[in-house]
Amino acid sequence: MQLLNTLFLDKPLRFEASMAGWQQLYWDNQLVARQDAHAGGGQHNELDFTLVSGEKKLRCQLAVNLNWQPFQFSYRMLIDGDCVGEGERSSDDIARQVPVVKPEKVKRTSTVGLLSLGFKLFKSAKVIKLAFAGASLAAYSWLFSLPFALSLLAALVFHEYGHIRAMKYFGMKTKGIYLIPFMGGMALSDEKINTRWQDVVISIMGPSFGLLMSVASLLLYWITGEVFFAALASLNAMLNVFNLLPILPLDGGHILKSISFSMNSVAGLLVCAGGAALGVWLSYTLGLALLGLLLLVGSIEIMAEWKTRHRSHLLPLDRYGQVFSTVWYLVTVAGLVGTITYLSNSDEPLLRLPLSILQS
């Protein structure tokens, strides 16, 4: 990941590194020094390179002090042993940066390019949002009933709004919420994340907002005695518990991936593989073809993450972040399951259904 991008002799100097020990230094977008993964070296390291200025050779060096957990990074730039610049960067600086990416080659118009352009226009059109929302309402009303459809859409929108709020908290531009018939909803952003912490917060804020909605519905049930609010609390809790399953691309899978890959890339693969195995068992037990499809997509994402683990641009969670994220996840799951369990004691068959599904 990119840790530093500054000017050195009036040209960009970029330093990249990974938790595995891999480091690379670019000057004017040319590789001038590198250290291979697991090549040794502690927190302190010097990357030496030579630049030619006229007929004179300059002995240059970037001295870095790097600690991943907790993240600490400071540097000194030297020419012929004299310091010409120094500084330090925090995790907040990394979260706000825009990583340097290689410019894409201009390609001639093709079917794939036209489809890609069409998809971008498709995502940006507000009328499409309304069309999808209307299609979702019609589909769920046809399958169940209008009150049920409205309740389901309210739960989906509130869940996705949690993701949107988290994105805006990190200063990211958003495209809004899209409701997909029979698939749920999506919260889309125009920007990419830079840290595992951002991935965790954005992922878990959806279920956390879902928990708030269930608690609010439960309070309305206690005040009014209307079974409708109890059913809404239970249905919403079940949807968010499903979303917290540790399977990619569900929110729980993203949380699991960010926590585990922050520990160690091998541990990350093993933990995510365990989540995939859980998904296989659930798909087989419950006969859920859609869950199997989600599992397939998630497995591909895990393998892509594994192959690029030494080049990840995401700043890992520190020990505090790992523990806090795990506790946040478990508390959210406990709150949702507790809501379902509490309401299952009712004589209403509809309120006992979510617990029956979890127990199955």
Q: What is the DSSP letter of 122?
A: H
How much is the pLDDT for 41?
Answer: 45
Mean pLDDT of the region 22-36: 86
pLDDT in tens, 86-118: 998 888 888 877 766 554 444 444 555 555 655
The contacts of residue 92 (CB under 8 Å, 6+ apart) are none
* Beta strands at 11-17 and 23-27: parallel, antiparallel or unpaired: antiparallel
Which of the two residues, 3 and 186, has the higher pLDDT score? 3
Nearest to 305 by CA among 2, 15, 18, 4: 18
**What domains are there in the chain, each with its CATH number?**
2-89 (2.40.128.180), 154-359 (no CATH)
Which of the two residues, 99 and 26, has the higher pLDDT score? 26
Q: What percentage of the chain exceeds 70 in pLDDT?
A: 70
Q: What is the DSSP letter of 36?
A: -
Mean pLDDT of the region 332-351: 82
pLDDT band at 292 (very low <50, low <70, confident <90, very high): low
CB 318 within 8 A of CB 71: yes
Q: Which amino acid is at 159?
A: H
Whether the bond into 147 is cis, omega within 30 of 0? no
How much is the pLDDT for 67?
Answer: 84
DSSP structure string for 84-114: EEEEEE-HHHHHH-----PPPPP----HHHH
Average pLDDT, the chain: 78
How much is the pLDDT for 333?
Answer: 87
DSSP structure string for 125-169: -HHHHHHHHHHHHHHHHHHS-HHHHHHHHHHHHHHHHHHHHHHHH
Contacts 24+ apart (CB under 8 A), 284-290: 285/360, 286/360
pLDDT at residue 24 is higher than 90? no
pLDDT in tens, 41-92: 457 888 888 988 777 888 999 999 888 877 888 999 988 888 988 998 888 8
How much is the pLDDT for 223?
Answer: 92
Angle at 218 between CA 215 and CA 222, to 5 degrees: 140
How much is the pLDDT for 125?
Answer: 53
Which of the two residues, 140 and 34, has the higher pLDDT score? 34
Q: Tell me the C-alpha distance between 157 and 250, whole Å.
A: 16
pLDDT in tens, 226-266: 888 888 888 889 889 888 887 777 888 888 888 888 876 67
State in Å, rounded, how far the first CA of the chain is from the last one: 43
Mean pLDDT of the region 327-338: 89
The three-state secondary structure class of 24 is strand
Which of the two residues, 156 and 212, has the higher pLDDT score? 212
pLDDT band at 352 (very low <50, low <70, confident <90, very high): confident
Nearest to 160 by CA among 200, 197, 209: 209
pLDDT band at 133 (very low <50, low <70, confident <90, very high): low
How much is the pLDDT for 208?
Answer: 94
pLDDT at residue 129 is higher than 80? no
